[in-house]
Amino acid sequence: MVCENVEHDCDRMGFRLYGYCLMPDHLHVLLSPNESGVHVSRWMDSFKSYTTNRFMRLGGKPPLWQRSWHDHVCGESETADKVLAYIVDNPVREGLVESWTDWPSTGVFIEMDAEHARAGGDRIVV
């Protein structure tokens, strides 16, 4: 439910989605507002609201998300490939899988090689 909604909300709001990784206790999303004119906070509010409501309809007890969230505007030396490599390696660093490709709650939407993502130097928010 959470992963499919990350993809859906990016499409709906005109964001470019580079990738995500849903961990047992947190979520990493690498995205860019592109030319949408929509602020990242609006995307996050919409995403958290919809997933929480759906979670509760399925019998879950709130809260699903913390009130706060952290965004980071990537600098010149932080390219999408470097940031996405960090994101997809989260389950490996936590000892949950041996390879990031083994983690089922990971989505990658830029060209990948055997080790990590590769992309241009777009300004991105994570």
Model confidence over 26-71: pLDDT tens digits?
Answer: 999 999 998 888 999 999 999 999 999 999 999 999 888 888 888 8
Can you give the pTM of this predicted structure?
A: 0.81
Residue 18 scores a pLDDT above 80: yes
Using CA atoms, how far apart are residues 2 and 44, in angstroms rounded to an integer?
Answer: 12
Model confidence over 97-125: pLDDT tens digits?
Answer: 999 889 999 988 876 444 554 333 343 44
pLDDT given for residue 122 in this prediction: 40
Residue 22 scores a pLDDT above 90: yes
Looking at beta carbons, which pairs linking 97-101 to residues 24 or more positions away fall under 8 Å? 100/21
pLDDT given for residue 115 in this prediction: 52
Using CA atoms, how far apart are residues 72 and 5, in angstroms rounded to an integer?
Answer: 21
The pLDDT of 14-31, averaged and rounded, is: 93
CATH 3.40.50.300 applies to domain 2-108: no
pLDDT given for residue 87 in this prediction: 92
Closest CA to 69 of 94, 51, 89: 51
Q: Structure tokens of 4?
A: 């499919």
Which are the contacts of 39, defined by CB distance < 8 A and separation ≥ 6? Answer: 33
Using CA atoms, how far apart are residues 30 and 18, in angstroms rounded to an integer?
Answer: 5
pLDDT given for residue 109 in this prediction: 81
Task: Supply the DSSP string of 79-114, one letter for each residue.
Answer: -HHHHHHHHHTHHHHTTS-SSGGG-TTEEE-S-B-S
